[in-house]
Every structure is written in C-alpha cells, then in structure tokens.
Amino acid sequence: MSHKEIRVRFAPSPTGPLHIGGVRTALYNYLFAKKNGGKMILRIEDTDQTRFVEGAEKYINEAFKWCGVEFDESIGKGGKYGPYKQSERKHLYKDYAQQLIAKGKAYYAFDTAEDLNEIRNSFEAEKKTFVYNAAERSKLNNSLTLSEEETKQLISSGKEYVIRFKMPENEVVVMEDIIRGRVEVNTSVLDDKILFKSDGMPTYHLANIVDDHLMEISHVIRGEEWLPSLPLHVLLYDAFEWERPVFAHLPLLLKPDGNGKLSKRDGDRLGFPVFPLQWKDPKSGETSRGYREDGYFPQAFINMLALLGWNPGDERELFSMDELIEAFSLERVGKSGSKFDQEKAKWFNHQYLIKQDDEFLANKLMPIVIKNGVLAEKEQLTKAISLVKERVSFVSELWDQLDFFFKRPQEYDEKAVKKRWKAASYDILLELKELLENVSDFTSENTETVVKQWIEEKEYGMGAVMNAFRLLVVGALKGPHLFDIIELIGQEETLERIDQGLHELGRKE
C-alpha cells in the first residue's frame, strides 16, 4: 500500500489575490511532492459563486509562475483527473450527497436561513448555544422528522432544501496529523454541517472530500484554520467508506506586531507586502503592493517563506528551490504560528542580490537610470554595480549608491566640506590634478600607486588628500574605493571634476 503515488493539491478559491500564507502552503505542498517524487495539483474551488472576483484565477497562476512553484496538473496544464475547477464538476456532487442519504449518513433539511437565525437568536438570549445536531435535529424541519411522503412532496413542489451530514451522537473521532500528532474530538460538540447548498452547489466540505478522493490525493497539507473541520472530513471519508488521506495542518502566518492571522490590512498598516504580486481590486480600484513590484527576487521570496515555519535541522539558511526540495520534510514543520519579519526578508534579498550577475542587475537598473535623466552605457553601469552591490538589498537602492559615476557633483555635502576642505586642500588638489594629468595608465592599480607614492614623498598625509579628493570626485564622503571610481569615470572626467571642485569650493582661508 505504500506503493501508492504521492499526490498533493493546492486548492485556493478565486476570491481575490493569494496572500503569502497561501503561497507558503502551496510551497510546502510542492516541496513535499517533489521530494517524494509525487504530483502537485492545482484545483480551483469556486463553489461560492457569490464571492467570485474577476482576475483572481489569473493572479494565482501568475503568482506561482513568478515564484517558481509548478503544477503537474491544473486547468491550464490539464491532466487525467480533470476538470480542475469545481464549478465544472458541479454535476458530480449531488450524486455523492444522495449516496450519503441512501446510506443514512445525511438528510434533507428544509429550514430556511431565517428560521435558523431566529432559533440561534432565541438560544443566545438564554445564553445557550444552538447546535444543529442530534440534540436538536429532531425538533427541526427535515427528512428525519418528516415522513418519506412529506419529504418527497416538499422536494417535488420545489421547496428549497439543503443536505446535511448526520453527525453521529457522542462518538470519539480519532485523527492523525503529521504535525500535531493524535487529535481526538467528541462528535457531540460538532454539528450537522451542510454538504449541499440550496443553490445546487456543494459546500467546501463535500466538494473537497469528493475531489480529493476522485483525484486520488494522498496527502492533504493545508492551513491550521481547517483543523476544526477535520473531524467532519474524516467522518465523511468513513461514511463513503473511502480511505482517508494523510493530513498535515500547517501553522498560520501571524501579523508582525501583536497576534492574529496576517491580513491584507497589516501590510498596508506596517508597510510591507502581503501579496506575492501587486493586486488591483477590480471593485474598489485599490492597489496592494506585491513582493515582485517591491523588488524582491523570487528565489529570495521563496527562501524566506520556506524558513517561516520550517527549518532544515542544521544551520543552513540559503536554499535554492532544488535544495529546499532535497531538505524538506513535514516532520520539521513547527507547530506554532510565525510572525513575518521584514528585516529578515530584506536580508534574504540582499544575499540573493549579491549573488546575481552584474549585467542582469544592470538590465534591471537601466530603467531607473533613464528615469533619472542619465544616459549610461550598459558596460559602465555593470562595472559600477559590481563595485557597490554589496551595499544594498534592492535593485532600486542601487541608484543612490552609484549615481556619482554618471553625474558630476551638483553640490558638495556641507558637513564633509566643513570637515575635510582645509586651508591646504586647494593647493594640494591642484597639485594632484597636475600629477594625474601626466599619468598615461589610468587603471585603479596604477593611479593608486602613483598617488600614494606622491603623498608619501610630499608627506601630505593620506587622510588629508584622499578625503578632499573624494569630496571633489563624488561630492560627499561616500562610495567605494576611490581609485576604482576614477578608473571607471576616466581620466578626463576625473580632471574636470577636480577643476569644478576647485572652482566651487575655492581656497579656504
């Protein structure tokens, strides 16, 4: 029996953009499938037609494409267990619901939503909790209290009905979860959940069990918010006499401050994205930030997400997708929720940025350079990037670190001038300019040798010369190795910048 193929699924409902908790759930499913040579399935659960959101399904596909989570079977890819969208499987569910009725495991109920609300309210007034189960169902309007005749008549007369699961009375349900271990619940606290709605669609509970069974899902890996309905699901498998899949309920992603499930609002409030991709709400027109648009590399995003709730058991932190697959196991997923930490996320991105090819980064940066009104040669930009990339976490931060390669100083940092432009500076820099005018080999290595030798001979002092020199070339006391900078901007530009600086700052009294 252990020869059974590993098949897992990620089953979002297309009610909006996928948030990073969902992405992580999908990622763990994916890693688990790949690790075990299994299949990863994407199934769209759109049984609630009232919550349909335009563009959500497309968003889901794009998001996974961006971060490198691939599906073996899905709407786009097909597969022999399709269709992979529940609204297209509609015809299947009613029959299964009726099978349950035939087995005495479910029944028709005619109570309207209003009826039930009323009852709930009156219970609440007496500080009691209404539960539609063995304790109360005999007093309600259903095929258990009505005669077969009456039931049939009601249905044929077009009366709206739902199909409810007949929850056993006072039984202990024993469940196994890979992450939580054994969990036990008494059925007397559970209710007769609706399996089939009056609009002709199944609820999540029915559809999910039927589809997981039909699609031969071996492991159900999902968020912890499903744990309370696990008894129902397990009982449904038993009622159908189907083999239960293995369950693993993942801990939740929490908001960075305080407690509670991470939500869209937290991102807006704390200033970080909760979605992989930017999302524009078709109704409100409101736009939410995405990791992609914020400049995160997909690998960094995945790496960060993978480590939020799982760890390899050793001290490695940087993983490619293949390395994650190799190292992953559900047993090493923690039990408690994790808070997202933006600083750590930045650090991951920094690590990946350093590893990126300089030319690749230059291509990414070029639009920003152009936006700043500068025409830079790709080759120059690539070299400049190689000199400064260790200083930043995002491509968008690069410009601030290397704009001086392409722009002469517009102004000279006031504090720096005060500190480093001394009485002797003018004459020394004038002399340095003459020195550099006569250098024919303007490589960093050579100019460094020449200048340092000159400083030593004249006993000017390193700090006094270099800081003033940097001030004229860069406009501030920042940036990488100065001789690397002047090599890149070239001899002519270097000399002109010295000239400009001498003219602007003048001889200090």
Partner RNA sequence: GCACCGUUCGUCUAGCCAGGUCAGGACGCCAGGUUUUCAUCCUGGUAACACGGGUUCAAAUCCCGUACGGUGUACCA
Residues 339-358 that bind RNA (CB under 7 A): 339, 341, 343-344, 347
Whole-number Å distance between alpha carbons of 304 and 345: 6
Query: Does residue 456 belong to the site contacting RNA (CB under 7 A)?
Result: no
* Residue 317 lies near RNA (rule: CB under 7 A): yes
From 264, 346, 383, 452, the catalytic residue? 264
- Contact call for residue 227 and RNA (CB under 7 A): yes
Residue 179 near residue 248, CB atoms below 8 Å: yes
* Nearer to RNA (CB atom), residue 150 or residue 341: 341
26: Cβ contacts below 8 Å, ≥ 6 apart:
10, 12, 18, 64, 69
Residue whose CB is less far from RNA, 329 or 375: 329
Quick check: 378 binds RNA (CB under 7 A)? no
Binding region for RNA (CB under 7 A) out of 30-38, 65-73, 332-340, 428-436:
332-340
**Site membership for RNA, residue 280 (CB under 7 A):** no
Question: Which residue, 216, 213, 260, is CA-closest to 236?
Answer: 213
Any contact of residue 250 with RNA (CB under 7 A)?
no
Among 109, 137, 122, 120, residue whose Cα is nearest residue 198: 109
User: Minimum Å distance from CB 3 to RNA?
Assistant: 26
Query: Residue from 458, 478, 507, 508 that binds RNA (CB under 7 A)?
Result: 478
- Angle of helix 444-458 versus helix 482-489 axis, rounded to 10: 130
| Segment 78 to 117, residues that bind RNA, using CB under 7 A | 111-113, 116
Q: Check if the beta carbon of residue 393 is closer than 8 Å to that of residue 485.
A: no
Q: Which of positions 282-311 make contact with RNA (CB under 7 A)?
A: 307-309, 311
Number of residues engaging RNA in binding (CB under 7 A): 79
**For residues 254 and 369, which CB has a smaller minimum distance to RNA in the complex?**
254
**407 near RNA (CB under 7 A):** no
Total residues belonging to the chain: 509
Give 4 or 138: the residue with its C-beta nearer to RNA.
138
DSSP β-bridge partners for residue 223:
250
Smallest separation, CB 10 to RNA (Å): 11
53 binds RNA (CB under 7 A): no
> Each residue of 1-22: b (16+ CB within 10 Å) or e?
eeeeebbbbbbbbbebbbbbbb
DSSP character string of 231-267:
HHHHHHHHHHT-PPPEEEEEPPEEPSSSSSB--HHHH
Instruction: Give the one residue of 73, 191, 211, 212 binding RNA; rule: CB under 7 A.
Output: 191
Among 92, 144, 178, 183, binds RNA (CB under 7 A): 183
Report the phi/psi class of residue 238: left, alpha or beta, with left for phi > 0 and alpha for psi in -120 to 50: alpha
Pair 263, 274: CB distance under 8 Å: yes
Q: Does residue 152 carry a catalytic annotation? A: no
According to the binding rule CB under 7 A, does residue 174 interact with RNA?
Answer: no
Q: Is 399 left (phi over 0), alpha (psi -120 to 50) or beta?
A: alpha
- Residues 352, 300 contacting (CB under 8 angstroms): yes
Report d(CA 445, CA 36) in Å as an integer.
53
Return the residue of 141, 143, 203, 218 that touches RNA, per CB under 7 A.
203
Residue 480 binds RNA, judged by CB under 7 A = yes
Q: What is the DSSP letter of 142?
A: B
Instruction: Choose the binding region for RNA from 57-65, 249-257, 270-278, 487-495 (rule: CB under 7 A).
Output: 249-257
Is 145 a residue that touches RNA (CB under 7 A)? no
Stretch that binds RNA, among 5-13, 236-244, 290-298, 430-438 (CB under 7 A): 5-13
Q: Confirm if 31 and 324 have CB atoms less than 8 A apart.
A: yes
CB of 193 to RNA, least distance (A): 8
Residue 481 as a binder of RNA (CB under 7 A): the answer is yes
Under the binding rule (CB under 7 A), the answer on residue 446 touching RNA is: no
Paired tokens of 509: 């009294």
Residue number with CB closer to RNA (481 or 508) = 481
Residue of 59, 67, 84 whose CA lies nearest to 7: 84
3-state secondary structure of 147: coil
Stretch that binds RNA, among 97-105, 234-242, 476-484, 495-503 (CB under 7 A): 476-484
User: Which residues, 154 to 173, sit near RNA by CB under 7 A?
Assistant: 160, 162
Is position 204 an interface residue for RNA (rule: CB under 7 A)? yes
Cβ contacts of 411 within 8 Å, gap of 6 or more: 475
220 by DSSP, 3-state: which? strand
Of residues 5 and 341, the one with the C-beta less far from RNA: 341
Should residue 62 be labelled a site residue for RNA when binding is judged by CB under 7 A? Answer: no
Backbone angles phi, psi at 195, to 5 degrees: -100, -30
**Residue with Cβ nearer RNA (179 or 239):** 179
Measured from the CB atom, is 73 or 487 closer to RNA? 487
206 vs 367 by CB, closer to RNA: 206
Q: In the set 76, 78, 228, 367, which binds RNA (CB under 7 A)? A: 228
Under the criterion CB under 7 A, does residue 189 sit at the interface with RNA? yes
| Of residues 416-445, those binding RNA (CB under 7 A) | none
Q: Is 457 an interacting residue with respect to RNA (CB under 7 A)?
A: no
Three-state secondary structure call for residue 185: strand
Active site residues: 264
